[in-house]
A and B are shown apart, each in its own frame.
Chain A
Amino acid sequence: MSNPTKPLLTARYGIAESWKIANAERAGAYQVAKRALTSIEPAKLKDEVKNANIRGRGGAGFPAGVKWGFLNPGPNDQVYLVINADESEPGTFKDRSIMDLDPHRLIEGAIISCYAIGSHVAYIYVRGELASSVTRLEDAIADARKAGYLGARPFGVDHEIEIHVHTGAGAYICGEETALLNSLEGRRGEPRLKPPFPAVKGVFGMPTIVNNVETIAVVPDVIDMGGDAWSALSRLPADGGVRLYGVSGHVRNPGLFEAPVGITMRELIYDYAGGMLAGRPLKAVIPGGSSTPVLDPRRLVDAPGEDQPLHAWHGKSEIDVPMGVDTYRALGTMLGTCCAIVMDDTVNMVEACRNLMRFYKHESCGQCTPCREGTGWLVDVLNNLCAGRGKPEDVDLLVDISNNMMGNTICAFADGTAMPLLGFVQKFRDEFIDAAHNGLPSDVRHDHSVRREVEKVA
């Protein structure tokens, strides 16, 4: 393991019944919130969060401190904190662990955050499927209230804070922050036009900060260590701290790992996740949820100019670039949720791409024509390719449809569909052309490396 720091975010995961308040408190829970509310000014708390360089853990990587700075409530405004626990991006399974294994960390983070931004009410929007997370959060909130950490005078301080869990009901798009706000208001989960941004006009027409579960869960550590010290845990500038890395797919040891920002994908796969299943070659990896363009380990970074952001990794494989919001953007992909989907050489990229595009077709909210129609057309074309009814021109048609979806819609869902498609086609074009000529075998599967084990056949 190349994690030089002691676990922070996951420090209590290993404790027996870590979700119970007594066990969490024995391991330090609520100490920081108590200190923050009783002895630190909100403005100072906001400064620490800003200095910590927390890049939003929900996918977009926007600096949390900067977002908080957009708040400018009027005298009669109620400020809301909304915690995004919709966790539906394919490949992503990190926030669930915080809610299941250390709900008190999230609540402590929410208390500090509410106090810092002047909010009295936080809603945690949990996707409907995560019933066990909802139960653990609700129990934890009830216990925190009983202990006097929530309610009219948390820790005896005159700043009322209530936290409510709001359960979704199955819809990926409700992870998009304005769709989430509509869903929270009891409406269909359709994204809103922006501006106005939530910080100006969010839920119930009031200034609202929407942050991901992990973003809020790191706040206690940030305040405890101080923003600068926490930021310095990272290996990269302007992208601070530690984060949860997830690995799924064809690795020996799939799961979650806490590590500093800036480890490489190669470290994540080979050091943390135990390397490839059955020692097979790595073919491709989707770095941070299905909306992030795929990486191809054969491709080398070409950044000969000293002023190019990736110059230090010139000539190295894509998987040797440190995982950060800005480094990955320079690489033409995104860090997203930092949960990687790893694929070995048995995977057909056209089929993998079709699997994901079916997801987007199913999940488009349907408000915008390029998205509603485009996702359907992509699936139709991919179906034709897979069934042997395709033509080589169809590969360009895929690119054309995607280009027409990008930037032409209300929310970033359409971009999150088009970008990964373009990545697949750009990096594995041969396979798409091959499918256009020959189709795919009707029983094409990508679980060869585990199939015998799952099906229990000799």
Chain B
Amino acid sequence: MAFALTPEGEREVDELLTRYPERRASLLPVLWLCQRQNGWISSEVVDYVSQRLDLSTATVRGVVTFYTMFFEEPVGENVVWVCRTLSCDLRGGKAIQDHLENKLGCTAGHTSSDGKFTLLKAECLAACGQAPMVQINDRYYENLDVEILDRIIEAHVTRGAEAAADEFSTHATFGAPSKAPISTAPPPPSPEAVRLASQPPPAPEPVGDES
């Protein structure tokens, strides 16, 4: 069946088009609108978007496949992204993933048999100071342990994503509340006599470039 945005969605597209001097620039936001309505980017969505923005389907498909957040197949009612990059792993990211796999009965990359949850691994989600963390749908859940995680998952099942987010989801914090009391600094390790090469190594090219 052909895909079409709701009339309200269409109005949003019209508004989006005014934000950019080129029609094409609204491609990502329009894809977002479609995914929000349809759950994923089906070929019908690709057809619709290419017509609406006057782009070839190959162009649209090329963009869809570049970005990890556009789903190329249907996903569960809730999508759980578990961060497994270094800062999270240093504070238990693996334990969080293991627990979710047990609880949901599926490994990362798959959907639970009741269709309620798709579990995916994520790369650093910019919440490293509140590790370990997961993203569920479009909200963050931070400073996790398995007990809190259980309650968050239960809340999604029994009360729905929005209620769960209202109760448990987190925004950025400043100077995260410390679990352990802050005491005076223990003495840092005493430096052993390992010396840097006499000449500092040539300065590496900066990440990112001057313009």
Picked from B89, B145, B208, the residue with its CB within 8 Å of the CB of A355 is B89
Judge whether B95 and A451 touch: CB under 8 Å. yes
**Docked complex: A228-259 residues within 8 A CB-CB of B:** 246-250, 252-257
Interface string of A195-213 (1 = CB under 8 A from B): 0011100101000011000
A383 within 8 A of B: no
Contact assessment for A255 and B176 in the assembled complex, using a CB-CB cutoff below 8 Å: yes
Majority SS at the chain A contact face: loop
Q: Is the CB of B195 within 8 A of A132?
A: no
A339 to B140, CA, bound (A): 20
State whether A171 touches B174 (Cβ < 8 A): no
A-B contacts at CB below 8 angstroms, number: 335
- CB–CB B144/A407 < 8 A: no
Q: In the complex, what residues of B have CB within 8 A of residue A330's CB?
A: 200, 203
Stretch at the interface among B4-12, B28-36, B107-115: B28-36
Given A101-B174, A186-B63, A297-B191, A451-B92 contact (CB < 8 Å):
yes
Interface residues of A in 313-363 (CB under 8 A from B): 316-319, 329-332, 334, 336, 339, 341, 343, 347, 352, 355-356, 359, 362-363
Number of chain A residues close to chain B: CB under 8 A? 137
| CB closest chain-A residue, reference B210 | A62
CB-CB contacts below 8 Å: A63-87 with B = 66-67, 70, 78, 87
Cβ of B91 under 8 Å from chain A: yes
- Kindly supply a per-residue 1/0 record for chain B positions 53-64, scoring 1 wherever the CB is within 8 Å of any chain A CB and 0 otherwise: 100000000110
CB of B207 within 8 Å of the partner chain: yes
Q: How many angstroms from the CA of A407 to the CA of B5 in the assembled complex? A: 46
* Interface residues on chain B, number (Cβ under 8 Å): 89
CB of A167 within 8 A of chain B?
A: yes
- Contact A274–B87 (Cβ < 8 Å): no
* CB atoms of A302 and B198 under 8 A apart: yes
Min distance, Cβ B209 to any Cβ of chain A, angstroms: 6
Chain A residues within an 8 Å CB radius of B96: 454
Residue of A nearest to B87 (CB): A248
Interface check B194, CB cutoff 8 A: yes
Does A153 count as interface, using CB distance less than 8 angstroms?
Answer: no
- Residues from chain B with a CB closer than 8 A to the CB of A365 are 66
Provide the A102-138 mask, 1 if CB < 8 A to any CB of B, else 0: 0000000000000000000000000111111100100
Q: How far is the CA of A308 from the CA of B96 in the complex (A)?
A: 47
Contact with A along B171-187 (1 / 0, CB 8 A): 11111101110111110
Name A446's closest neighbour in chain B (CB-CB).
B90
A13: which of B174, B184, B186 is its contact (CB, 8 Å)? B174
Question: B185 to chain A: closest CB distance in Å?
Answer: 4
Decide if A376 is an interface residue (CB 8 Å cutoff): no
Q: How far is the CA of A389 from the CA of B176 in the complex (A)?
A: 41
Q: Is B70 an interface residue (CB 8 A)?
A: yes
Which chain B positions have C-beta within 8 A of A100? 171-172
A447 at the interface (CB under 8 A from B): yes
Interface residue? A35 (CB, 8 A)? no
Closest Cβ of chain B: how far from A146's Cβ, in Å? 17
- Contacts of A293 on B, CB cut-off 8 Å? 204
B27 is an interface residue with CB less than 8 A from chain A: yes
22 contacts between A and B (CB under 8 A): A60-B206, A66-B210, A90-B124, A92-B126, A100-B171, A185-B24, A248-B131, A250-B90, A252-B178, A255-B173, A255-B175, A256-B175, A256-B176, A298-B194, A300-B191, A300-B194, A336-B207, A347-B90, A415-B205, A447-B91, A454-B92, A455-B95
Give 18 new A-B contacts, CB below 8 A, not counting A177-B208, A254-B128.
A61-B206, A93-B128, A93-B172, A129-B126, A129-B135, A131-B138, A169-B28, A186-B27, A186-B28, A189-B67, A197-B209, A249-B87, A274-B182, A281-B189, A329-B203, A332-B200, A332-B204, A365-B66
Closest 10 CB pairs of A and B: A454-B92, A186-B27, A169-B67, A270-B185, A60-B208, A131-B138, A170-B69, A170-B68, A255-B176, A248-B128
